[in-house]
Amino acid sequence: MKLLKHHSATVSAMVMAVGLTGLMVGASNAAQPTPWQMGMQPAATPVMEDIRWFNDFTLSIMTGVTILVAVLLLTVIFRFRKKANPTPSRTSHNTMIEVVWTVIPILILVMISVPSFRLLFKQLDIPEYEMTIKATGYQWYWGYEYADEGMEDVAFDAYMIEDAERLDIIANKGLTNAELPRLLATDYNVVVPVDTTVRVQVTAADVIHSFAVPAFGIKIDAVPFRLNETWFRAANTGIYYGQCSELCGQRHAFMPIAIQVVTKEQYVAWAEAAKSDVDEANTLLAQLIADEKKVAATAATNVKVVSR
Ligand SMILES: [Cu+2]
């Protein structure tokens, strides 16, 4: 009986989870975890959109199976208990039902495997890419190199911004907590253009790390002496955060990944400046984004004035 209660609690949790993830599909651009978040981060790439769909799809099948099994268990317990059914049936075989309970699970597995393999190929088969970035895992930070022609000199290491420094920056620049999220913000962001297919080559220089960005649906091991590849194509601008996802030592939790997706024009300006100085390029980029926000804000107030 205890077991049954547990079952139905799981089922209601599943039903709730299906509902919640369904709700979150509407949100388009949140790049970091939020307090009390239950589902996955909103998708920022086509791969992540498919992952979210696949999660909801398998979760709904699982929910159905769990409900069916719970109902069958309850039926057996109540209808065929000793009191209600003192002389049990002596049936030992029923060909029909044996065929049914073999064939239906096979069909369900086939139904799951088709989109599962399609998604695996989509993740691992690198499409035609427009640029390449190499990420190297170190104990305990990430090193990035831009690999395209003319960009060979653009390389930097990205360290997590420590708590004390973070509070200073927030106070000095008047930022919000979400603009410089704790344990996720880094001193250098990986800058990439929006709507561009980026190939990421991932390796490590000491122990095994893992390069993972949830909103992009990417997670790939960073293994010394091995070059792994993944890709993403971000559909919205904004900063997307990830973390090392392979236990790599004492400061494993403190080597986050921050990818800043900017407009194509902003990227061109950044890349041009970064060829000679990444710090200057970042200052320029911050200026460009601040200008863009100002323009957007004025446009918004104008609209309000007009609508009055
Ligand atoms: Cu690591």
Mean pLDDT by 10 residues, the chain (308 residues): 40 40 36 84 94 96 96 95 90 92 96 96 95 96 95 95 94 88 94 97 97 96 96 95 96 96 95 94 93 84 62
- CA-based nearest residue to 190, from 238, 123, 244: 238
141-146 and 131-138 as β-strands: parallel, antiparallel, unpaired? Answer: antiparallel
> Half-sphere exposure of residue 129, counting CA atoms within 13 Å on the CB side?
18
User: Measured in angstroms, how far is the CA atom of residue 62 from the centroid of ligand 1?
Assistant: 33
CB atoms within 10 A of CB 207: 17
Protein residues within 5 Å, CB atom, of ion ligand 1:
209, 244, 248
User: Measured in angstroms, how far is the CA atom of residue 9 from the centroid of ligand 1?
Assistant: 36
How far does the chain reach from its first CA to its final CA, in angstroms?
63
User: Measured in angstroms, how far is the CA atom of residue 210 from the centroid of ligand 1?
Assistant: 6
User: Measured in angstroms, how far is the CA atom of residue 16 from the centroid of ligand 1?
Assistant: 34
User: Measured in angstroms, how far is the CA atom of residue 207 from the centroid of ligand 1?
Assistant: 8
C-alpha dihedral (29, 32, 34, 36), degrees to nearest 10: 110
How many angstroms separate the CA atoms of 60 and 247, rounded? 32
CATH topology (fold) of 2-124: Helix Hairpins (1.10.287)
User: Measured in angstroms, how far is the CA atom of residue 142 from the centroid of ligand 1?
Assistant: 8
User: Measured in angstroms, how far is the CA atom of residue 31 from the centroid of ligand 1?
Assistant: 20
The architecture that CATH gives domain 131-298 is Sandwich (2.60)
User: Measured in angstroms, how far is the CA atom of residue 107 from the centroid of ligand 1?
Assistant: 40
What does the block give as tokens for 78? 């109540």
User: Measured in angstroms, how far is the CA atom of residue 252 from the centroid of ligand 1?
Assistant: 5
User: Measured in angstroms, how far is the CA atom of residue 204 from the centroid of ligand 1?
Assistant: 9
- CA-based nearest residue to 61, from 109, 8, 119: 109
User: Measured in angstroms, how far is the CA atom of residue 74 from the centroid of ligand 1?
Assistant: 47
Q: Domain extents for the chain?
A: 2-124, 131-298
Cβ atoms of 156 and 278 within 8 Å: the answer is yes
Beta-carbon contacts of 249 under 8 Å, excluding residues fewer than 6 positions away, are 139, 140, 207
Instruction: Give the phi and the psi of residue 142 in degrees, each rounded to 5.
Output: -110, 140
